[in-house]
Amino acid sequence: MNPVPETREAWAGVARGAGAILRDIEVVCSDPAEHRRRVGTRHAAGGDHCGRWAPPTPSDLERYARDYRPWTTPRLVIDTAGRAPDSDFRRLLAGLGLPTLPP
């Protein structure tokens, strides 16, 4: 997550240092009820490689929303509200100028 310009710029610096092309992508769910439902059904099956990952709590989401700063640089926005994952993936590929999958 990159809720503030400082983290976004840090990742841009990493890309520049590596000579890589950076493509910023913001994935959102514009339906608050659906977002809460999704978060509530997440689980840490296996966690990260160290077993320390835990799904965000409602207070984590509130803090993230409070800390979030709007983007001022170009990015591809994928809104997943009310859409099937394969549709989102197709939009992502198209937005990146990559070949899309057959239906």
Q: What's the confidence (pLDDT) of residue 57?
A: 79
Q: How confident is the model at residue 80 (pLDDT cuts 50, 70, 90)?
A: very high
Q: What's the confidence (pLDDT) of residue 20?
A: 96
Does residue 99 have a pLDDT over 60?
yes
Q: What's the confidence (pLDDT) of residue 35?
A: 86
Distance CA 90, CA 87 (A): 5
Query: Alpha carbon of 41 to those of 11, 12, 86: distances in Å?
Result: 30, 32, 20
Tell me whether strands 25-28 and 76-79 are parallel, antiparallel or unpaired: parallel
Q: 84: which residues sit within 8 A by CB, 6+ positions away?
A: none
Question: Could you report the per-residue pLDDT of 1-42, keeping only the tens digit for each?
Answer: 688 999 999 999 999 999 999 999 999 999 989 988 888 887
Does residue 95 have a pLDDT over 60?
yes
pTM: predicted TM-score of the whole model, two decimal places: 0.75
Question: Could you report the per-residue pLDDT of 51-79, keeping only the tens digit for each?
Answer: 566 777 778 888 888 888 999 999 999 99
